[in-house]
Amino acid sequence: MSLRVYNTLTREKEPFKTIEPGKVTMYLCGPTVYKPAHIGHMVGPVIFDTVKRYLTYSGYDVTFVINITDVDDKLINKAKELGVEVKALAEQMTEDYFDNLNLMGVNTIDHFPYATDYINDMQEMIQKLIDRGHAYPLNGDVYFDVTADADYGKLSGRSVDAMMAGTRVEANDAKKNPADFALWKGSKEGEPAWDSPWGPGRPGWHIECSVMSCKLLGPSIDIHGGGLDLMFPHHENELAQSESASGETFVRYWMHNGLMQSGKNTGKVGGGHDRHGDSPAPDSTAPDSTDAQIANKLAGSAGAESVKTAVFAHHHPEVVRFFLLSTHYRSPIDFSLENIAKTEKSLDGFYRLFDSFERITGVDPYTLNIPNVREETVSLSSLDDELAANFADLRNRFLESMDDDFNTGGAVGILFDMRRAINGFIQQQKLEESCSPEQSEQLTAMVTLLRELAQLVGVFQRPVEKSSGADDEFVNGLMDLVLDIRQQARTDKNWTVADKIRDALKELNVEVEDGKEGVRWSRG
RNA sequence: GGCGCAGUAGCCAAGUGGCCUAAGGCGACGGAUUGCAAAUCCGUUAUUCCCCGGUUCGAAUCCGGGCUGCGCCUCCA
């Protein structure tokens, strides 16, 4: 089976065919850097990082761009409010964004262009649009003329007429059409401004993506991604501008990810505004869940708490990544601490398996050499036929899921199946007691395959905090002593004392497990 | 008002015309193992996919109509 991708433009899954054979160009709309990143900002990058991983594994040479919007009304207002320079605020928030991406294991992005580095190119494109009769200057602004674009609205399925009928398009009498949008905005006193043929001003929101995508990836690109909320107006306008300027198809596959929501009725995370009065105000007497509180913090109109402090303080980022990918990217995803906790629990079994692997083979599973090309998968020849067939089948099912519009939810399920198969092997062969070189080779092949597939969704890339032992010499010494005493009690069949020690340690969040090969402990 | 998306077990979630008498996870219950636990493995946990009609030899999957939740139409990823 070959890769199929859902295309928002056609509302269908289509066979994946690139513009240039073997190459993929991919652009994702990045954040406006005016406040710390919230969890919702991580969804797109994690998903498209996974898309790139999978495409790369499948043999494509992928170029992936995420833009940084560092000029914008919200940014200007926020800077004013805080009494800092726009540039300084943008730099600080960009850094926060990068930190979070890094924690989430998003590390496949090739370019992070800044809007302010492309002002000249934007002006060129605007001029081109004016020359071609698709835009018109007006009192220091420049507007895109939607009526001059025959297929305007094709992405979001709206017609210009329908939008006219909508009552909420703010009337700007001077514009030819209320749906016309700004390409260039004349600046007011004290705002960042660049000289232009139309007077000092700054670019409109949509033009930067058209320009940067064209400059870095060419006029036609394979994949353009973003949150569902960006489909209109942002992507619709980008599309209109780009195609009107170049005369070429702008994007082959439009991919839109579902938005993160929090709690049952709280709406999407990060949706800061109040509705405008036609829906009842949120019931303030409703029990405030912790999740909603966190979501509100993340949305952060008041508090500006970042993902780092709000979530990663309590959960390893890998948990969040795994959580995001355990559902389909086009579905909305419910963020809640309960869900995160469940995910954390489900991941524990993998970490235990890796610990167990290291005990048995003496090899750190994170140092294994992992194949990263589809055709060069790990060899299963050391396994007996039945096992080899079973693992090959699991791998196929994993890849089939991913081939089906990047169905990470289905694929992740296979990882659990594989975990169970490996644990079963360890148990049947009693590897915790003794392990021959042949068995070690077999086990290594299985775990390598698990990691080969896991890398495609970007998990198990680097060790999380050690789940057993500690690196504090003093603590280790103390634990050795305590456990030695407990072992003595067990040998004497003094279960009262042995259990008392175990229970007391548990109170201190130290988990003691008696295995065949000896006692283990870990801090919760 | 207009345009979209979604509704699968206690919870999360995959499956979108026949391999579905519906993956996987969390939870629960039973068994193996254990001094007892923990971990691990095995088994059980939806005859049914929001409701009502229709198309079809056959539908969770397609169509029509409801109900419910959500998003966009306002420079939110």
What is the per-residue pLDDT for A290?
53
Average pLDDT over residues A119-126: 96
**A41 CB-to-strand B distance under 7 Å:** yes
Tokens found for residue A15: 């066979």
Average pLDDT over residues A68-82: 90
Within A32-116, residue ranges assigned H as helices are: 39-57, 73-82, 86-103
A253 or A163: which leads in pLDDT:
A253
Average pLDDT over residues A242-269: 82
What is the per-residue pLDDT for A263?
53
Closest nucleotide C1' to the C-alpha of A8 = B4
Average pLDDT over residues A140-165: 83
- Domains along chain A with CATH numbers: 4-262 (3.40.50.620), 347-457 (1.20.120.640), 473-523 (no CATH)
Provide the residue type at A90 as one letter: A
Dist. CA A479–CA A484, nearest whole Å: 8
Name the average pLDDT for chain A: 87
Give residues 75-134 of chain A lying near strand B (Cβ < 7 A): none
Q: How confident is the model at residue A358 (pLDDT cuts 50, 70, 90)?
A: very high
The number of angstroms, rounded, from the C-alpha of A441 to the middle of its chain's C-alpha atoms is: 34
**Structural contact between residues A181 and A233, judged by C-beta atoms closer than 8 angstroms:** yes
- List the beta strands (DSSP E) in A315-429: 333-335
What is the per-residue pLDDT for A476?
87
What is the per-residue pLDDT for A262?
73
pLDDT tens track for A398-454: 999 999 999 999 999 999 999 999 999 999 999 999 999 999 999 999 999 999 999
Pairing of strands A251-257, A4-7: unpaired
Reference A208, options A222, A194, A197, A198; nearest CA is A194
What is the per-residue pLDDT for A74?
86
Strand B bases near protein CB (under 7 Å) are 1-6, 11-16, 23-27, 34-42, 69-77
Average pLDDT over residues A129-149: 93
Q: How confident is the model at residue A483 (pLDDT cuts 50, 70, 90)?
A: very high
pLDDT tens track for A204-233: 989 999 999 999 999 999 999 999 989 988
Give the distance, in angstroms, between residue A17 CA and nucleotide B65 C1'.
39
Q: Which residues of A are annotated as a binding site?
A: 29, 209, 234, 238
Q: Is it true that the peptide bond before A233 is cis, omega within 30 degrees of 0?
A: yes
Q: Which range has the worst mean pLDDT, A89-93, A331-335, A404-408, A414-418?
A: A331-335
Average pLDDT over residues A145-166: 79
Tokens found for residue A391: 């693992």
Q: How confident is the model at residue A301 (pLDDT cuts 50, 70, 90)?
A: very low
Q: Which residues of A are annotated as a binding site for Zn(2+)?
A: 29, 209, 234, 238
Dist. CA A41–CA A50, nearest whole Å: 15
Give the distance, in angstroms, between residue A11 CA and nucleotide B53 C1'.
27
Closest nucleotide C1' to the C-alpha of A407 = B14
Reference A6, options A47, A36, A40, A34; nearest CA is A47
Task: Decide if pLDDT at A296 tops 70.
Answer: no
Q: How confident is the model at residue A266 (pLDDT cuts 50, 70, 90)?
A: very low
What is the per-residue pLDDT for A274?
31
CA distances to A161, A193, A205, A240 from A198, rounded to whole Å, are 29, 12, 17, 21
Rounded CA Rg of chain A: 27
**Structural contact between residues A204 and A185, judged by C-beta atoms closer than 8 angstroms:** yes
Nearest residue to B4 (CA, C1')?
A156
Phi, psi of A463 (to 5 degrees): -65, 140
